[in-house]
Amino acid sequence: ARVLVLTGDEKAFCAGADLKSVTEATTNEKLAKEWLAPRPHGPLGFTRLTSPKPTIAAISGYALAGGLELALWCDLRVGTETAKLGFPERRWGVPLIDGGTQRLPRIVGMGRGLDLILSGRIVEADEALAMGLLTEVVAPGKHVERSLEMAKGLAAFPQKTMLSDRRAALEGFGLPLDEALKLEAELGAESTATGVEGAGRFAAGEGRGGEGAGV
């Protein structure tokens, strides 16, 4: 599979950990060892790693706490009009430990990111779209359909160049501009043959008038 789509059900994408169960089943020592200790993977098992392929979160209803962190792990987020996103664990003093403090500001900017991180408020679909937290908003029940449509579009592109550009964006973010540009140039050079082939197809008439320009 060239693209990964993650989803939940109509009620919730993911509402995070069951805090009651965590309290009942976990001692402080076990929590510190298994959840909070620095390690290469997060509580969900993979969220401190980077996916090797494009990822899309198809969100209906709640994406809260660790569920929002999981959605932030994805490259794109398609939400229904019922989507609600936030970090309500702020009110109980539960820390963000699955990438939320790092990925959210990268996606929406530091100001908006700190707003959600500090306040714990929950935003609805229209505000989430306006701040860039959601990529697209669709009618209820259409989130998976639209995400799969986007996935098919991404899967149809020449993969070497798309994955190279994705890597340049992810790895270059936060680097000084000169280093980021060097990384972009190095990764781009590896896709030269693909680019030349694509330019030849365009010269032959493929894609004229914007055909196939987006997903």
pLDDT of residue 46: 81
Whole-angstrom Cα distance, residue 118 to residue 36?
20
Which pLDDT value is given to residue 164? 95
Per-residue model confidence (pLDDT) at position 22: 55
Would you call 113 helix, strand, or coil by DSSP? helix
Q: Which of 73, 56, 77 is nearest to 125 (CA)?
A: 77
Can 29 be counted among the known catalytic residues?
no
Single out the catalytic residue among 69, 127, 145, 206: 69
| Active-site hit among 34, 81, 89, 190 | 89
CA–CA distances in Å: residue 106 to residues 18, 26, 109: 27, 32, 6
At 144 the pLDDT is 98
Given pLDDT bands bounded at 50, 70 and 90, which one contains residue 40?
A: low
Nearest to 164 by CA among 181, 180, 183, 187: 187
pLDDT over 70 percentage in the chain? 77
- To the query of whether residue 89 is one of the catalytic residues in this protein, the response is yes
Q: What is the model's pTM? A: 0.84
What distance in Å separates the CA atoms of residue 124 and residue 97, rounded to the nearest whole number?
A: 23
